[in-house]
Structure 1
Amino acid sequence: MQIHVVHPGETLWLIAQRYGVTVTQIVTANQLESPSKLVSGLALVVPTPTQTHTVQPGENLTQIAQRYGTTVEEISKINQIQNPNMILSETILTIPAHKPVIDVNAYTINTGETGAEDGGLSTIDDTAMLQSAAAERVVPVMAITNFSATAAGSSLAHSVLASTDIQDVLLTNILKVMKEKGYQGLNIDFENVLPADRENYNQFLQRAVDRLHPEGYSVSTALAPKISDEQKGVLYEAHDYAEHGRIVDFVVLMTYEWGYRLGPPQAISPLNEIKRVLDYAVTVIPRNKILFGFQIYARDWLLPHVQGQEAETFSQQEAIRRAIQYGVAIQYDPIAQSPFYRYTDAEGRNHEVWFEDARSAQAKFDVVKDYNLRGISYWVLGYPFPQNWLLLEDNFTIRKIR
């Protein structure tokens, strides 16, 4: 897989000729709506040829996989082999590159369970999600939260964390739901926890682990992006990186939202800021317990920015469509490792858009490798980003359940 940044005057035909692929391959890989319309700075993934192997008489996929340091599953997947036990000699196989093995998870927007002050849980319709997880051999993880779109959740978290009786009720309810629905892990996403509740939160995590581990369930947490243990603010102070790293099975670092929907325009996930978080995190949390948080949406701010004015949130594909619609070049911030552009709409209003593309995704994957992290956690599914998924598979072997 190659990344090509469009230059002024280039066409898909010229790009395809350069890499020895077809226009259709590029259009399909990037899900381009208007292949004849490109803008300068657009980052495309190009599915270039990879290493191949011609099957010899008597060879099987196990032998071939061992030879190249890969797996039967990966060879079968990349070659779309339905029956790995039936491989004809002289078949030309594409061999996946040797890649780090990582965990990948993703949040879905309306699937978290919300706790109540008495330890109860609000119900949700998660049937379709659980069915999809089973079909794709993905571990379904139940997420519980203390916040909503209209409430920060500090009071609710305090009510739960201050009472071991309520915690027992909550954990009993969690186990009941997990057993009934087939969840295999619990993710605790308590945000805006009062600083005074920091130790109570740590003790609750230990109680959760003590209840869930004997039942065979994993426990993980979501952590605000801190650069030191002393960082001030209700979002950060009660999140004890060292204790979470010691107690739970893994953590999700929420390394996004610098470009907040109600704040001024800027990169949503600037890599320079993310590295500051990781530089601290790896000193107190085992690297094999850290999932790198990766947001997969774009934002469009009106200019000049007015404090409190909400930016529009949409997919990376929509960000590309708007750049093409308004005929503006896409720029790239080398420090934040994020693409952006500005345009003027039909009503004469100025806009600034920050998003992710193939370059920024690859830069994040390189950081995951450089820091030797457990894997990646996506926030949030539902925003198309085809370049990301192709590059993810090109960079890593994703650990799946059997």
Structure 2
Amino acid sequence: MIKKLLLLLISVCMVLMTPIIACAQVIHEVKPGDSLTKISKQYKINKDDLAKLNGLAKNTQLVLGQAMMIPGSTYIVQKGDSIWEIANRHAISEITLMRQNHLKSRVITPGQKLSIPRPPKMNIWTGTYFVPKDRNTNAWMLNNYKKTLTSIFVFEYRSDEQGNIIETPENQAHKIAWKENLPPFATLTNLSEKGFDPNLTNRLISTTWLRQKFVNNIYSLLESHDYKGVVIDFEQVKTKDRANLNQFIKELASKLHPAGMEVMMAVPPKEGDQMPSYSAGYDYRTLGKYLDRMFLMTYDWHWPGGPSGPIAPIDRVKATLDYAVSVVEKSKLMLGIPQYAYDWVIGTNKRSGSAYSTQHAIDLYTGYQSSVHYNESAAAPWFRYVDNKGNLHEVWFEDPRSLLVKFRLVRQYGLAGMGCWHLGLTMPQTEKMLLEEFNVH
């Protein structure tokens, strides 16, 4: 559902970033009276570089609660700050922050300088869905983002009811990816004119002869297009197809692995084998035996068709990881990161929502001068604004605070890496923070 909606609603934001060579792990939360000029002088950095790093125009007026990334490792205490709040914002413990700064008490004063510690970089594998455009745009995007990626998942190929793969106009994306040393994977979905189609999935994998034909056709696609492997993105699989899905992945892996090809699969978040019951068709334990990597779609607990709320509340993400690492090798697991915003019209009898890039969310809250709030329990930012028709909107998205917490989970759980939907939706802070936290290989 999310991919279909996003494909209809999102135009890729491509802001060419001039590299800023500095550690950018300090997060400053905008207070009353703050401006780009004031913050840049306080931290002794170039104002234009500060704006660029945070996806802002040079003379943008900041808003209360906005999270700003600051180059360097020194944080300057602001009025109203506390040790707990500063530590929480940087995804470290109070004790760690206090030890780093040789503090004997939690008393701090405005203007005081604190060193923000960062753990050693961790080696990870990263991949992202890639929606092909024209050849020149494909080349620009892959070259621009290659430092943050290990691979790309070309989105998307489909199958008809006879197991024949329907071509997608990818405009040499796979060739460009190989040139940039980004092994490409073909994403195969169960999308039909009905959307994600569990009945199509059932037909393709429940009959032995058709399943074998389907597997052979997938192999032929990868071989003819020089793909490194396939990402299976079958959504809304029914419980009755649990054994069929296991058998399909087993047979697919048996076909692809001898040829050096890999099998990945995107799976919905689960907190137990039957939790939630509507995702019981995905058998993490058995699938994990045959897959090379499992992409956990740890997002969309709230979506445009339902009530507003955090897209990836941290407690639910952790619960998913707790279960996943108990039944699947950590070295196969990838954490899904939501790199988009959801915007709901609220205050009416029928709520409706839309999706767009995180950068667009930044443009909106600065444009409407809407204060940004941060839900500590969900580790997620949100804001509201009133459009030109008088409609009240509520937007949930990701910012440096929420992203850093998720990045640290990759380290905490010892995962293989992470990925997102989809390339081009991120904000400049994401790439900078990723490269400061990890070695992408």
TM-score range, shorter chain: 0.7 to 0.9
Query: Which ranges of structure 1 fall in alignment gaps of 5 or more residues?
Result: 51-95
Map of 2:355 onto structure 1: 313
Secondary structure of residue in 2 paired with 1:311? strand
Task: Report the residue type matching 2:124 in the other structure.
Answer: I
Matched, 1:100 2:122: yes
Map of 1:329 onto structure 2: 371
Question: Are residues 26 and 98 of structure 1, via their aligned partners in 2, closer, same or farther at CA, if it must alter by over 3 Å?
Answer: same
Map of 1:80 onto structure 2: none
The 5-angstrom pairing of residues 121-200 of structure 1 reads 121-148=165-192, 150-200=194-244
Map of 2:14 onto structure 1: none
Map of 2:31 onto structure 1: 7
Which residue, out of 274, 284, 288, partners 1:230?
274
Matched, 1:303 2:325: no
Shift of 1:6: 1.2
Shift of 1:49: 7.3
Question: Are residues 305 and 250 of structure 1, via their aligned partners in 2, closer, same or farther at CA, if it must alter by over 3 Å?
Answer: farther
Shift of 1:14: 2.0
- Cα distance in structure 1, aligned partners of 2:398 and 2:276: 29
Does the aligned pair in 1 maintain the 2:55–2:427 contact within 8 Å? Answer: no
Matched, 1:46 2:46: no
- Cα distance in structure 1, aligned partners of 2:64 and 2:192: 40
Q: Deviations over 1:97-138 (max 9, x none)?
A: 841000100012462111222110111011342244224311
Question: Are residues 191 and 105 of structure 1, via their aligned partners in 2, closer, same or farther at CA, if it must alter by over 3 Å?
Answer: same
Does the aligned pair in 2 maintain the 1:21–1:48 contact within 8 Å? Answer: no
Secondary structure of residue in 2 paired with 1:370? helix
Question: Are residues 270 and 207 of structure 1, via their aligned partners in 2, closer, same or farther at CA, if it must alter by over 3 Å?
Answer: same
- Cα distance in structure 2, aligned partners of 1:127 and 1:31: 29
Q: CA RMSD in A?
A: 1.9
Secondary structure of residue in 1 paired with 2:352? coil
- Cα distance in structure 2, aligned partners of 1:336 and 1:144: 32
- Cα distance in structure 2, aligned partners of 1:35 and 1:283: 49
Map of 1:19 onto structure 2: 43
Matched, 1:274 2:298: no
Secondary structure of residue in 2 paired with 1:105? strand
Secondary structure of residue in 2 paired with 1:262? coil
Matched, 1:250 2:293: yes
Which stretch shows the higher mean deviation, 350-359 or 147-156?
147-156
Query: Which ranges of structure 2 fall in alignment gaps of 5 or more residues?
Result: 1-23, 75-117, 133-154
Task: Report the residue type matching 1:116 in the other structure.
Answer: D
Question: Are residues 277 and 247 of structure 1, via their aligned partners in 2, closer, same or farther at CA, if it must alter by over 3 Å?
Answer: same
Task: Report the residue type matching 1:352 in the other structure.
Answer: E
Which residue, out of 153, 162, 168, partners 1:118?
162
- Cα distance in structure 2, aligned partners of 1:210 and 1:326: 54
Question: Are residues 14 and 128 of structure 1, via their aligned partners in 2, closer, same or farther at CA, if it must alter by over 3 Å?
Answer: farther
- Cα distance in structure 2, aligned partners of 1:187 and 1:322: 34
Matched, 1:359 2:383: no
Question: Are residues 217 and 270 of structure 1, via their aligned partners in 2, closer, same or farther at CA, if it must alter by over 3 Å?
Answer: same
Does the aligned pair in 2 maintain the 1:230–1:237 contact within 8 Å? Answer: yes
TM-score normalized by structure 1? 0.83
- Cα distance in structure 2, aligned partners of 1:272 and 1:97: 23
Q: How many residues end up aligned between the 2 structures?
A: 352
Does the aligned pair in 2 maintain the 1:265–1:305 contact within 8 Å? Answer: no
Task: Report the residue type matching 2:187 in the other structure.
Answer: A
Question: Are residues 160 and 358 of structure 1, via their aligned partners in 2, closer, same or farther at CA, if it must alter by over 3 Å?
Answer: same
Which residue, out of 390, 406, 423, partners 1:348?
390
Extract structure 1 runs of 4+ deviating beyond 3 A: none
Q: Deviations over 1:252-296 (max 9, x none)?
A: 001111121111110111111111111111110111111001110
Does the aligned pair in 1 maintain the 2:196–2:234 contact within 8 Å? Answer: no
Secondary structure of residue in 1 paired with 2:191? coil
- Cα distance in structure 1, aligned partners of 2:333 and 2:259: 23
Which residue, out of 419, 425, 441, partners 1:377?
419
Secondary structure of residue in 2 paired with 1:169? helix
Question: Are residues 16 and 310 of structure 1, via their aligned partners in 2, closer, same or farther at CA, if it must alter by over 3 Å?
Answer: same
Question: Are residues 241 and 306 of structure 1, via their aligned partners in 2, closer, same or farther at CA, if it must alter by over 3 Å?
Answer: farther
Does the aligned pair in 2 maintain the 1:264–1:305 contact within 8 Å? Answer: no
- Cα distance in structure 1, aligned partners of 2:296 and 2:59: 37
Map of 1:32 onto structure 2: 56
Secondary structure of residue in 1 paired with 2:322? helix
Question: Are residues 350 and 359 of structure 1, via their aligned partners in 2, closer, same or farther at CA, if it must alter by over 3 Å?
Answer: same
Does the aligned pair in 1 maintain the 2:164–2:214 contact within 8 Å? Answer: yes
Question: Are residues 304 and 123 of structure 1, via their aligned partners in 2, closer, same or farther at CA, if it must alter by over 3 Å?
Answer: same
Question: Are residues 8 and 131 of structure 1, via their aligned partners in 2, closer, same or farther at CA, if it must alter by over 3 Å?
Answer: farther
